[in-house]
Amino acid sequence: MTTRRPVASLWIGEKLQYLNQLCLLSHIRHGHPTTLYCTHQVSNVPEGVTVRPASEIMEIDMGVVGQTSASFLSNVFRYKMIQKTNAVWIDCDAFCYKPFPDEMDNIFAGHGFRGALNCGVVYIPQQGELMDRLLDYYENLPDAPGWFNKQQRKKLDKQDTSLPQSVRIYNAERTAFGPQAFTWFAQQTGDYEKALTPDVLYPVPFQLNDVFFDPHGRVEGHFTDATLSVHLYTNGTRPWWRRNVPLAGSYAARMCAEIGVDPAGALED
């Protein structure tokens, strides 16, 4: 098998769900060396995935995680990881459909029905204005993000001033450290024009994520010849699907059978 460019992700917690196992293994299947940076000892990382401590990239403040979400600080982590390792960032629910071309210098795409960019799968040059602006934003948080409207600013002003500024911004707008920040700074630097079309990385819109569990759903009907990755949106999946094995014939069940993942062994508690 051809060895391709490395990919990496972050996991905060002690156990992966079966869709996370599936997505990590899908990259290995296509020849991508796959690293999972962890804050805890994870009991069920699939064989073939390299496990490294998250602290090699940055310290994860679990207090901030507790006040926000498990994925919150990954929005900072991904750019620091790219800068240090030159790997492609993959969310743990991004399924590799085709390998990422070695020559592709900008891997990010529009998302869903709204036209904003997403950063669930992302690679940008290690050195450059977009990287610099993103890291400066996270490391020197403003009183309010530059794109906040009046309603968002009003909500931010109502936050307890004793909270960390990152938590205050998060409480005002949950995606202010993810897609909103990435979209804003890509627009400022001119990198927005380099975005791939949604079918490349997010062929199925978030609003339709139940289709992955529908035995009669035509998931592949969303794909094009350009599709490289398929986002499965575990954070938006209904709890029932995370606590039960996928129905036979559904995309989730078919991909688990194809790659060799036992969903019953990694259901959400």
Q: Is residue 2 part of a domain?
A: no
Question: Any idea how long the chain is?
Answer: 269
- How many C-beta atoms surround the C-beta of residue 197 within 10 A? 13
Q: Is residue 105 part of a domain?
A: yes
Mean pLDDT of 246-269: 96
* pLDDT greater than 80 at residue 211: yes
Per-residue pLDDT at 265? 95
* pLDDT greater than 80 at residue 136: yes
Q: Is residue 23 part of a domain?
A: yes
Q: Is residue 68 part of a domain?
A: yes
Q: Is residue 192 part of a domain?
A: yes
pLDDT category at 237 given cuts 50, 70, 90 is confident
Residue 19 belongs to domain with CATH number: 3.90.550
Per-residue pLDDT at 223? 98
In percent, the amount of the chain with pLDDT more than 70 equals 99
Per-residue pLDDT at 58? 96
Instruction: Give residue 245's domain range.
Output: 7-263
pLDDT category at 112 given cuts 50, 70, 90 is low
Under DSSP, the state recorded for 100 is P
Q: Is residue 56 part of a domain?
A: yes
Per-residue pLDDT at 2? 72
* pLDDT greater than 80 at residue 102: yes
pLDDT category at 113 given cuts 50, 70, 90 is low
Q: Is residue 38 part of a domain?
A: yes
H/E stretch holding 199: helix 198-201
Under DSSP, the state recorded for 69 is -
Per-residue pLDDT at 236? 84
Mean pLDDT of 75-95: 97
* CA gap 50, 33 in Å, rounded: 8
Ramachandran class of 71: left when φ > 0, alpha when ψ lies in -120 to 50, beta otherwise = alpha
* pLDDT greater than 90 at residue 96: yes
**Which segment of 72-86, 102-116, 146-160, 177-191 scores lowest on mean pLDDT?**
102-116
Per-residue pLDDT at 1? 61
* CA gap 256, 51 in Å, rounded: 22
Q: Is residue 268 part of a domain?
A: no
pLDDT tens per residue, range 142-188: 999 999 999 999 999 999 999 999 999 999 998 899 999 999 999 99
> % helix / strand / coil in the chain, to the nearest 5?
40, 15, 45
Q: How many domains does the chain have?
A: 1
